[in-house]
Amino acid sequence: MNKIVDIHADQNELHDLKLKKQNISNYFAKILAELGLDLDDPSIKDTPNRVAKMLVDETCNGLFTEPPEITTFPIDEHTSRDLIVIEDIPFSSLCEHHFQPFIGKATVAYLPNDRIMGLSKAARVLDYFAARPQVQERLTGEVAQFLYEQLNAKGVLVIVQAEHFCMKVRGVKKHGSSTITTAIRGDIDKQEVISSLKLAGKV
Ligand SMILES: Nc1nc2c(ncn2[C@@H]2O[C@H](COP(=O)(O)OP(=O)(O)OP(=O)(O)O)[C@@H](O)[C@H]2O)c(=O)[nH]1
Ligand SMILES: [Zn+2]
């Protein structure tokens, strides 16, 4: 019975997303027409559909999906209980002010309590919260908070460095400037994270 209910739920979700893409495509076609572009041009005629698909299935996909499951493993007496740092995880997100991308790298550090995390999960969590209109400060905080709760960690520190296309290709047009944001949850020593990055020759 549960399975049947699940299948129906899945079908409803698929139907909703299809409808959403159709609506976005129609709205975007109006924007293109307002710009004076020829919607019959073979190069442009599928652009409204492409943009709708890109927003719903890719760049804003985190709005319509569940957060990733975090695989963890218990710590035994041989396992390090010290700081774990996963550095330079690349990501791209969408600035919610101008709908331009911002792209960069994140470093996730945590101090485990009784479990360690599957390493790839830091990147999955980052991708999940990046896949929606964002500001860099919120993205940084959401990743830190989610991992802190899911890992029952003693502490989590997330550092994000990114370049914003809204500052590169429009507005002030400052190529090469990047923004660094940090978020700390629980008890973790920022200096210790910096020392371990130094050890790895990163700073
Ligand atoms: N704090 C924060 N600001 C951001 C982020 N992404 C873009 N912004 C800024 O959001 C601001 C929006 O400012 P507004 O003055 O409303 O918009 P605008 O007139 O287009 O601003 P300019 O970019 O200065 O041309 C700009 O200063 C952007 O640089 C982000 O992730 N975090
Ligand atoms: Zn922006």
127 and 171 belong to one structural domain: yes
Contact 178, 163 (CB under 8 A): yes
Give backbone dihedrals phi and psi of 27, rounded to 5 degrees, phi first. -65, -40
The domain containing residue 83 runs over which residues? 72-199
8 and 101 belong to one structural domain: no
Residue with CA closest to ligand 1 atom 5: 135
- Please identify which of the residues 95, 134, 142, 150 carries the catalytic annotation: 95
90 and 55 belong to one structural domain: no
Looking at the structure of the chain, the number of domains it has is 2
Bridge-based pairing of strands 84-95 and 101-111 is antiparallel
Tell me what pLDDT residue 140 has: 98
Tell me what pLDDT residue 190 has: 87
Query: How many residues belong to the chain?
Result: 203
In the chain, at which residue ranges do the beta strands (DSSP E only) sit? 72-74, 84-95, 101-111, 115-117, 133-134, 155-164, 179-186
C-alpha 95 to ligand 2 mean position (Å): 4
Which residues belong to the annotated binding site? Answer: 95, 98, 166
Contacts of 153 (CB under 8 A, 6+ apart): 110, 111, 112, 113, 147, 185, 186
Residue with CA closest to ligand 1 atom 2: 135
ipTM of the complex as predicted: 0.95
Q: Is 78 a catalytic residue?
A: no
Tell me what pLDDT residue 5 has: 62
Residue with CA closest to ligand 1 atom 22: 171
Tell me what pLDDT residue 185 has: 98
Position 7 in a domain: yes
d(CA 9, CA 6): 5
Domain boundary among 37, 59, 81: 59
Position 64 in a domain: no
115 and 143 belong to one structural domain: yes
42 and 76 belong to one structural domain: no
Q: Is 60 a catalytic residue?
A: no
Tell me what pLDDT residue 14 has: 86
Tell me what pLDDT residue 13 has: 86
Residues flanking ligand 1, CB < 6 Å:
95, 97, 135-137, 164, 166-167, 171-172
| CATH code of the domain containing 40 | 1.10.286.10
* Nearest ligand to residue 99 Cα: 2
Looking at 35-135, list the stretches that DSSP marks H as alpha helix, in order from N- to C-terminal side: 47-53, 120-130
Position 117 in a domain: yes
Position 102 in a domain: yes
| CATH code of the domain containing 168 | 3.30.1130.10
Tens of pLDDT along the chain (203 residues)?
Answer: 456 667 777 888 888 999 999 999 999 999 999 999 999 999 999 999 999 999 999 999 999 999 999 999 999 888 888 999 999 999 999 999 999 999 999 999 999 999 999 999 999 999 999 999 999 999 999 999 999 999 999 999 999 999 999 999 999 999 999 999 999 999 998 888 888 888 888 77
Q: Is 166 a catalytic residue?
A: yes
53 and 127 belong to one structural domain: no
